[in-house]
């Protein structure tokens, strides 16, 4: 079971591992656009994008950000991490507090081998996504791979308290238990 879980994670890493190679030069492939200072042309493009969003969504940026974050997750499920991070970035540009976009960025970072950056994004996303079973389990998995088993168990316990907890990844829980027995 442990090997099966590890194989699935390795396949996941392979699917989005190329992201890190391409992301170095393209700010749209870095979470939050790399938080880099923007040129006048980039600021103008952002303003035009936001004006278009405001017109289309009649000023409802929460809905707009939610829909773009959803597109990001769809792209990630299709094995398109570059498309995913671009959608997550757009959602973040529209609403920097959008937890679903921050969570998505965290997953892409983890899959690219940048666990510490991932954990920073997970912590930020927790303000709006805590209590979601899938969020807690994704967060637990990154904590597991950084060797923080006690914190991973805390996230698993939070996930177990949510509706739908019967759908938890038992293979992951078994692997976690092999590293550290479930705390009482």
Q: Residue 175 has what pLDDT?
A: 97
Average pLDDT for 5-30: 56
CA distances 95 to 64, 147, 157, 164, Å, are 9, 32, 30, 28
For the entire predicted model, the pTM comes to 0.83
What's the mean per-residue pLDDT of the chain?
Answer: 88
Q: Residue 25 has what pLDDT?
A: 67
CA distances 139 to 37, 50, 109, 120, 152, Å, are 29, 31, 12, 11, 7
- Band of pLDDT at residue 164, cut at 50, 70 and 90: confident
- What does the alpha-carbon distance between residue 60 and residue 37 come to, in Å, rounded to a whole number? 26
**Domain boundaries in the chain?**
2-100
């Amino acid at each position: 079971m442990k090997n099966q879980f590890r194989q699935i994670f390795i396949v996941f890493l392979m699917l989005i591992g190329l992201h890190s190679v391409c992301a170095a030069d393209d700010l749209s492939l870095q979470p939050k656009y790399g938080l880099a200072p923007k040129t006048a042309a980039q600021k103008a493009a952002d303003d035009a994008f936001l004006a278009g969003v405001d017109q289309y969504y009649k000023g409802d940026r929460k809905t707009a950000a939610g829909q773009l974050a959803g597109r990001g997750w769809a792209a990630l499920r299709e094995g398109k991490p570059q498309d995913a991070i671009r959608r997550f970035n757009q959602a973040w540009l529209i609403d920097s507090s959008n937890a679903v976009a921050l969570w998505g960025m965290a997953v892409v970072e983890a899959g690219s081998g940048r666990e510490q950056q991932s954990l920073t994004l997970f912590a930020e996303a927790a303000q709006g996504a805590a209590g979601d079973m899938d969020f807690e389990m994704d967060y637990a998995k990154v904590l597991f791979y950084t060797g923080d088993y006690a914190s991973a168990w805390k996230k698993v316990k939070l996930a177990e308290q949510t509706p739908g907890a019967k759908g938890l990844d038992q293979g992951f829980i078994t692997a976690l238990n092999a590293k550290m027995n479930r705390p009482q």
